[in-house]
Chains A and B, each alone.
Chain A
Amino acid sequence: MALRGTGEGTRPHMRKIVLLLAVFFVFAFFSLSTASAQVHARMRVIRASSVGSSVDPSLRDVHTDLGSLFSFTSYRLLRDETLTLSLNRPVSISAHEGRIIIESTLVGLHRGVAELRIRVAREGKDILNTQVKLSPGRTVFIGGPRVRDGVIIYAVHANF
């Protein structure tokens, strides 16, 4: 019984334990990094126009944010989606009867900042490519594609 856990015989096994723990931590570190490389992004598709004066109740914040920059009087919510973005897996949302597509791809996630690559295409042709760093609490608006009587605005807000 006195041999247990004592003497020189223990040392090589302690090295084994330390090595196994090190391997475990390296594996756990990369597993966690990979597992956490996923963000939920709220994507709202908005139609803004200067016709009428109705503001969708769920778009009060958009109206407040953009009111000082643009002179649109009407904001209508077309779609409100929560996208689960995984690393390098593009997710698309269509608007304007499928003619305009916005494709979002998570390309990086570093210490609470998600890097999104966003591509906007009209009828299959790219009209805008951008990459943004999105931190919690920040909203990125991507607007400009014209539709009848107004423009399409995408409001991207990350939740993670």
Chain B
Amino acid sequence: MRAKPNEALARVERKREKWMKNSCSSVSKFLEKYFDGEVTDKERILVEAHLQDCSSCRHELKSLEDLKAFIRAPVEEAAEREDFPWVWQKIEKEIRLQKKLTPWQSIRSWLDVSPLFRRRVWIPAAATAVILLFITAQIILRKTPSYPDASVVEYVESETDNVMVYQLEEPRVTVIWLLEGPEKEHAPT
């Protein structure tokens, strides 16, 4: 007895579904490797042939792509915000050291203060500097004499006349007196 055409088609469809089901289970173990580009050529051909007919596996592959995009976007965004200056500076320094810099280049490298401007250390550093400067200024500008006034006159000389020095402590007065003779005075005309 011959089978009806519709029954034959249904049988073929069931066989195909069974084969696809088996094929899905065999392909799914390659799907992640395929997604990561780690499959062999033979495996890639097998997976790609299966994906043409299997919407379920295509959907699964699409899920993997979506997941990757979902993870990568915020990570890349965060990486763009953070440029890791200190890491890069350290790497550059190591590279420079490997290049065996000349002494002049070494000095320039050491004096390079640009990374400091990227850090937030200058606010406390400036505050400390201001405080220390204030204290230092108080010491420098202190008006207390460091020695007594006993020797106010360091020297006195006159090639023409005698000189006398008086020094009083109360009141605090020092007098330097030139004993000029009357003949030195020239009356104005």
User: Which residue of A13, A25, A110, A122 is within 8 Å of B116 (Cβ)?
Assistant: A13
Number of B residues whose C-beta is below 8 Å from A? 58
B171 touches which one: A10, A64, A110, A147 (CB < 8 A)? A64
**What separation, in Å, do the CA atoms of A43 and B161 have in the docked complex?**
23
Q: Give min CB distance, A142 to chain B, whole Å.
A: 5
A-B pairs with beta carbons under 8 A, tally? 165
- Alpha-carbon separation in the docked complex, A136 to B143 (Å): 8
What chain B residues lie within 8 Å of A151 (beta carbons)?
180
Contact B172 A137 (CB under 8 A): yes
A–B complex contacts, Cβ < 8 Å, 13 sampled: A4-B119, A21-B129, A29-B136, A97-B188, A111-B142, A112-B146, A127-B159, A130-B154, A140-B152, A140-B175, A141-B177, A142-B175, A148-B187
Q: How far is the CB of B172 from chain A (nearest CB, A)?
A: 5
Q: Are B113 and A16 in contact (CB under 8 A)?
A: yes
Choice from A1, A110, A133, A137 contacting B82 with Cβ under 8 Å: A1
Instruction: Identify the closest chain B residue to A21 (Cβ).
Output: B129
Q: Is B178 interfacial (CB-CB < 8 Å)?
A: yes
Question: Is B137's CB within 8 Å of the partner chain A?
Answer: yes
Residues of chain B lying within 8 A (CB to CB) of residue A9: 86-87, 89-90
A→B interface (CB under 8 Å): 1, 3-5, 7, 9-10, 13, 16-17, 20-21, 24-25, 28-29, 32-33, 36, 64-66, 69, 96-97, 99, 110-113, 115, 120, 122-123, 125-148, 151, 160
- Tell whether A127 pairs with B145 under 8 Å between CB atoms, given A65-B171, A69-B175, A141-B176: no
How far is it, in angstroms, between the C-alpha of A123 and the C-alpha of B90 when the chains are bound?
Answer: 74
CA distance A16 to B107 in the complex (A): 12
Question: Does B12 touch A at the CB level, under 8 Å?
Answer: no
Q: How far is the CA of A160 from the CA of B121 in the complex (A)?
A: 38
CB contact under 8 A between A113 and B116, given known A132-B174, A133-B154? no
Residue B53 lies at the interface, judged by CB distance under 8 Å to chain A: no
Given contacts A21-B125, A130-B153, A130-B156, contact A138 B172 (CB under 8 A): yes
B145 CB contact (under 8 Å) in A113, A120, A140, A141: A113
Residue from A140, A143, A144 within 8 A of B161 (CB atoms)? A144
Chain A hits for B156, CB < 8 A: 128-131
Dominant SS among interface residues on chain B: mixed
Which B residues lie within 8 Å of A97 (CB)?
188
Query: Is the Cβ of B154 less than 8 Å from the Cβ of A115?
Result: yes
Q: Which of B144, B161, B175 is packed against the most chain A CB atoms within 10 Å?
A: B175
Residue of B nearest to A24 (CB): B129
Q: Which of B70-91 contact A (CB under 8 A)?
A: 82, 84, 86-87, 89-90
Closest chain A CB from B26 CB (angstroms): 45
Q: Which B residue's beta carbon lies closest to that of A64? A: B171
**A146 in complex: contacting residue of B89, B125, B141, B180, CB < 8 Å:** B180
Q: Which A residues lie within 8 Å of B158 (CB)?
A: 126-129
Contact check: which of B143, B147, B157 meets A129 at CB < 8 Å? Answer: B157
The 3 closest A-B pairs by CB, nearest first: A144-B178, A112-B143, A130-B156
| Contact status A148-B90, CB under 8 Å | no
Chain A minimum-CB-distance residue to B132: A25
| B159 CB, min distance to chain A CBs, angstroms | 7
Q: B116 touching A128 by the CB < 8 A rule?
A: no
